[in-house]
Amino acid sequence: MPLETIALMMVVAFFVLVLTGMPVAFAIAAVGFVFGFIGFDGWLFELLPSRIFGSITNYTLLAIPLFVFMGVMLDKTRVAHRMLEVIGHASGALPGGMALAVILVGVLMGAATGIVGAAIVTLTLMALPTLLRRGYKPTVACGTICASGTLGQIIPPSLVLLVLADTMNLSVGSLFAAALIPGLLLAGMYVVYLLILAWFNSADVPALDAKERAAMSTGQLIRDLFTSVLPPLGLVLAVLGAIIGGIAAPTEAAAVGAVGAAVLAALMGRLSRPVLVDALTTSVRINAMVFFVLIASQVFALAFRGLDGEFLVEAVVDWIPGGAYGTLMFMMLLIFLLGFFLEWIQITYIVVPLFMPFFAANPEFSPVWLAILVAMNLQTSFLTPPFGWSLIFMKGVAPPEIRTVEIYKGAVPFVLIQLLALGLIITFPGIALWLPEAIGW
């Protein structure tokens, strides 16, 4: 049997196992081992230990556990909770003001944590009951929170960008610089959508009650902005500025951010032994998931390449009409559709390595631009049912009266906005490339 045929069967078997409900990490490793033994009687896997060792000792990936700890620490110490309360009061007089505050806090939490689960759970527990109590339409409230919580996957520092930098062999600093404007653009498009909604139907997004606004004086509001919002914002800007400005390597900046988050929590009187233990335990759990998928993907990648899977991909690319841009559109469509069923990390380690050899041979495509397109596309995977993790996290902690269909309906406009943002970056590459080129990356 030709090796390419076995490689095709390998891909089909992987999706069959995923659809049966097997955890993706186990499915991808099992398929790699089984078809690797079918094609090569197992001798191919003599190369596996060195590949795994090379992956997990990658200096860039060391930033992942540090950034995860930084985000979890800010979440567990309820720094983000206080940020939402203060920003919500500051914008409460405007129709839709509380929803805009959720977007802004989503941006800050995204830059501070980069962890979707933490952001969604935190925003849902903090903001959803408040929005519903103030008369917000449930679908609007759910969609706003889900979309805001996923901003951390495009706004640096982001686990998606760190993994893409490793997968595509790119500089983390260049990806962080390239993602900053697209991330803020996406957040701005969310804001415009909510303002338009408030203009045409303010009953769906009412302003904060005057009595509630009066409960916090202007002086107290200003003090809270300086004590509860500016310190975590300053920490995030310092970490990102050090990386983008070339002052520190991503791992070094991540270490400073992790220590800074703990120091900030201590200075705010929110750090205790139980909180620290909880933050460390949660960080270990998240990192174990990320690195287990990384190790499992090495099994799949080794077997697929050994079975001449790259030639299979080349044949598919030759079949796609439209040349290089046709292939780009096909890859974007494939990533979007896989987002309905798989997590971003599995898509990254499965799809991206398959197409990168083709794009590497086409100098007209900037690899940094391609990475940002992939990251923006992966944003949609958190909001597309049935396995959009933002939707699942929200349903797990939302009040019982919130139906699943309301969460799904609320996410639809924001998925469309994400696709519009993706189209803008494809049409105008300068959105992603201007900043890294301006600072010399």
Whole-number Å distance between alpha carbons of 61 and 296: 16
DSSP state of 402: S
Tell which residue, 30, 45, 29, 122, has the closest CA to residue 80. 122
pLDDT for res 92: 60
Across the range 25-38, mean pLDDT stands at: 81
Q: Does residue 69 have a pLDDT over 70?
A: yes
101: Cα separation from own chain's centroid: 20
- For residue 277, the surrounding DSSP H or E stretch is helix 273-306
Write down the pLDDT at residue 387: 63
How high is the mean pLDDT of the chain? 79
Structurally, the chain folds into a number of domains equal to: 1
The yes-or-no verdict on residue 313 having pLDDT over 70 is no
**How far from 215 is each of 89, 130, 356, 441, CA to CA, in Å?**
10, 16, 56, 48
pLDDT of the residue at 118: 61
Q: Is residue 355 part of a domain?
A: yes
- Give the mean model confidence (pLDDT) for residues 117-130: 71
pLDDT in tens, 178-236: 998 999 999 999 999 988 988 888 778 787 666 655 566 667 777 877 777 788 778 87
Which tens digit of pLDDT belongs to each residue from 94-104? 677 778 888 88
> pLDDT per residue over 411-420, tens digit each?
899 999 999 9
> Six-digit token pair at 322?
């439209």
Q: Which residue bears the tokens 């980069």? A: 114
d(CA 268, CA 165): 34
Distance CA 100, CA 103 (A): 5
Rounded to the nearest 10°, the torsion over CA 418, 376, 436, 329 is -100
Domain range for residue 406?
57-438
Q: Is residue 49 assigned to a domain?
A: no
pLDDT band at 64 (very low <50, low <70, confident <90, very high): confident
**pLDDT, tens digit (0-9, with 9 covering 90-100), for 41-50:** 666 677 777 7
Rounded to 5 degrees, φ, ψ at 212 are: -70, -40
The token pair at 180 is 């900053």
CA–CA gap between residue 303 and residue 68 (Å, rounded): 31
What is the pTM assigned to this prediction?
0.74
5 part of a folded domain: no
Which DSSP string corresponds to 278-319?
Answer: HHHHHHHHHHHHHHHHHHHHHHHHHHHHHTTHHHHHHHHHHH
How many other CB atoms are found less than 10 A from the CB of residue 255? 19
Structural element, H or E, at residue 413: helix 404-427
- At 105, the amino acid letter reads V
- Domain presence at residue 7: no
pLDDT (mean) for 318-332: 79
Residue 428 confidence (pLDDT): 93
**pLDDT tens column, 143-173:** 998 888 888 788 887 778 888 888 888 888 8
Closest CA to 198 of 95, 324, 297: 95
Looking at per-residue pLDDT, the higher value among 127 and 4 belongs to: 127
Provide the pLDDT confidence category of residue 339 given band limits of 50, 70 and 90: confident
Does residue 13 register a pLDDT over 80? Answer: yes
155 token code pair? 């706004």
Asked if 141 and 131 count as a contact pair (C-beta separation under 8 A), the reply is yes
Q: What is the mean pLDDT of residues 234-243?
A: 77
Within a domain: 287: yes
Can you read off the two tokens belonging to residue 363? 């100098």
Helix locations, 340-403, DSSP H:
344-360, 367-380, 389-397
Residue 109, domain member (yes or no): yes
- Establish if 26 belongs to a structural domain: no
Q: Taking a C-beta distance cutoff of 8 angstroms, is the pair 432, 182 a contact?
A: yes
